[in-house]
Amino acid sequence: MPLLLASMIGVSIFGNEFFKFSIGTFNVLDFLIAVTCISYLVILSFGKTKRSFNSGLLCDRWLWAFLAYGLISVVFSYMSFYSSLGLSSGVLFNASFIPRQAYYFFFIPLIIASTRHPSSESCRKLLCRKYRLLFFCIYVAHVLWTGGFALDVSSCFCLGLLLLLNKRKQEVIDLLFLGVVLLSPMAVGGEMTQAAIRLVCLVFYFAKNKESVFRYGMFAVLAIVIACFIVPFVPFGDLGLDANTSWRISYWRDELDQLLATYGMGVGYGTSYASYSFIVGDIRAICGH
């Protein structure tokens, strides 16, 4: 949990530059990972609290299932399973890109371990007690570092999460913090993700109970899934959109075409994000041929 908190707060303030900070040739994030792993081993081996690890949660099982599915997909990608079935025939393939595209799988065990560590509950209580102070400090530090009031995806997610940890709707200061999350300008990049985060934060903040939160969450997920399959096929070209937006919608549709063409199995890892036909067509459009 301390590693996750340090990473989340660090990236919300400094952006992706946080992961590049180093002391000489030693990366700061590598140092945090090493310290966390060593402390876990010490607690498990010698600590009195080694038996107080929480039992597996339902969300843990879903994460383990997702990890297993992902690792199978990685193995199949190295074995050229997708290409042998013709699923990835429309995309470029390079096995050296598989680790780069599947990097997030390696963080799933860390996430699960952090929720089972005996320090998790104390960290959560600390966040609930000091969420206002953390919110203010992170926001001010982010503004000073970036030189502007725009929030990126990481800072928006972190501030929204802090606000939802111990919401007090009757408190004016919390409503002001909610206004910061909802009304701050969006930094370039990840605008759709930020819009989703802000919408979720708004809905969950005013939800009266856990049942309402779950219901609203299911509706939000369903709406996003439906939108993902509808928006790319709407003829936005007739609406006079700018070239950048039109290109992104076309690229989005190409991604969905790949998913539908493979019956939902996908094309595996190590492949180009866009299909070969889309890349060639895009180059021809740029060259004017």
Whether residue 286 is predicted with pLDDT greater than 60 in this model: the reply is no
C-alpha 280/C-alpha 92 separation (Å) is: 12
Digit-coded pLDDT (tens) for 30-40: 777 777 667 76
108-116 helix and 2-14 helix, angle to the nearest 10 degrees: 120
Average pLDDT over residues 100-125: 73
Confirm if 7 and 32 have CB atoms less than 8 A apart.
yes
pLDDT confidence tier of residue 182, bands split at 50, 70 and 90: very high
pLDDT confidence tier of residue 159, bands split at 50, 70 and 90: very high
Cβ-Cβ contacts under 8 Å for 193 (sequence gap 6 or more): 153
C-alpha 169/C-alpha 164 separation (Å) is: 10
Q: Nearest 5°: phi and psi at 171?
A: -85, 125
The token pair at 227 is 């939108």
pTM comes to 0.64
Top-ranked range on mean pLDDT: pick from 36-40, 111-115, 196-200? 196-200
Neighbour tally for 253: CB within 10 Å:
15
Cβ-Cβ contacts under 8 Å for 192 (sequence gap 6 or more): none
Average pLDDT over residues 175-198: 87
C-alpha 6/C-alpha 177 separation (Å) is: 21
